[in-house]
Structure formats: C-alpha cells, structure tokens
C-alpha cells in the first residue's frame, strides 16, 4: 500500500508540471510598452522601466506561469512632464496604486512554442482578464550567459476604462490602449 501511494504521488507530481524550470526575468530584455492615440494625429508611447517577477516554464508538459509587476512611477515617455501627468491621480495614480501586475492563468501553445498567455492584469486596484498573444517566442542557449534563455514578444489591447482610467475620454481620446510586452527569462 505504501509503495502504491508513493507511485501515485510521483505520478501526480509529474502530471502537475513539478519539473518546470524557474527563470529569472532579465531586466535588460523585459519591458511593458503602451500606445494610445492622440487626437487621431499621432500616437503617445511609453514604457515602465522598473519590473520584477517570476516565470516557471515546462516545455515538455506545455505549462507555465508568470507573475510580473511593473512600478507605475517608473513610467517613461521621454517627456518628464508627461510622465508626471501619467503618474498623477488623474491617470495612473502611482502614489495610491504603485504596481501594475500580470499573473498568468494558462499558457497556450502552437506546437512547441508559446502562442499566447492568458491571465489577469491588475491596474489601479482593478483586475481584468487579458490574453497576451505571442508575436514570437523562442528558447536559446545564450552564448554570453551559458544558460538557457526563453522569451518572446507579446501584445494585447485593453479598454483602459475597465480599470478606471477615464482621463480624456470626453475629449475623444480612445479607450483602447495597445500593450506590447517583451520578456526574457534566464533559466536558474
């Protein structure tokens, strides 16, 4: 009986992806960038420079998890006054809600490659489901680090008003914001 329980526990461990590798986010290759139209004339762009998080990935089982957060006060558009306005209570309320966070719920695959990551995005204390579609994804042996690195370029479009970001909607600013997330993780 004891041997059967041990085998059952081992089988359960295998089926739950317990052999997933952990990856440390490479901060020099991981950014969340946003794009929003500006009166139909141009596109405002920015990114969040400070981030932290964890990635677990099991290629064989085709499973994984991501938990990454971005420091809202690290928003960088290249224009300091615009950055301050984005951080203000009118838009991102960085003082009250210092982190934006994405936590995955499911990895989707096309063959052996990640094709999308489903999860929940929390911004301004509100959580909404989002799916990050992979434009590209690969794992490679880094010649500099001598370790495996996995990463990709993902995108989604969110309705910012679902998170309470309503600034400028009455003036004609679009509700939709395109998010582009590039991420690479170094196998630990």
| Cα–Cα distance list, 145 to 136, 141, 187, 188 (Å) | 21, 8, 10, 11
**Residue 18 — pLDDT band, cuts 50, 70, 90?**
low
* β-bridge mates for residue 52, sequence order: 69
DSSP-assigned letter for residue 20? P
Whether pLDDT at 102 is above 60: yes
pLDDT of residue 161: 98
Model pLDDT, residue 171? 93
Asked whether the predicted pLDDT for residue 185 surpasses 60, the reply is yes
User: Long-range contacts for 82-89 (Cβ within 8 Å, ≥24 apart)?
Assistant: 82/44, 82/46, 83/46, 86/46
Residue 30 neighbours by CB distance under 10 Å: 20
Neighbours of 60 (CB within 10 A): 10
Sign of CA dihedral 140, 143, 145, 147: positive
Least confident residue range of 6-15, 59-68, 72-81, 105-114: 6-15
């Amino acid at each position: 009986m004891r041997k059967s329980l041990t085998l059952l526990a081992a089988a359960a461990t295998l089926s739950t992806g317990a052999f997933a590798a952990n990856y440390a986010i490479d901060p020099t290759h991981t950014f969340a960038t946003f794009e929003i139209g500006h009166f139909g004339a141009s596109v405002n762009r920015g990114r969040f420079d400070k981030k932290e998080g964890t990635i677990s990935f099991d290629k064989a089982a085709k499973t994984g998890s991501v938990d990454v957060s971005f420091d809202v006060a690290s928003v960088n558009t290249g224009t300091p006054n615009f950055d301050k306005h984005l951080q203000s209570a009118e838009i991102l309320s960085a003082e009250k809600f210092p982190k934006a966070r994405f936590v995955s719920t499911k990895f989707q695959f096309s063959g052996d490659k990640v094709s999308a990551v489903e999860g929940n995005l929390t911004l301004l204390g509100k959580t909404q489901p989002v799916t990050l579609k992979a434009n590209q994804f690969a794992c490679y042996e880094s010649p500099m680090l001598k370790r495996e690195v996995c990463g990709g370029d993902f995108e989604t479009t969110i309705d910012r008003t679902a998170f309470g970001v309503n600034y400028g909607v009455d003036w004609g600013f679009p509700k939709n914001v395109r998010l582009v997330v590039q991420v690479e993780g170094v196998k630990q």
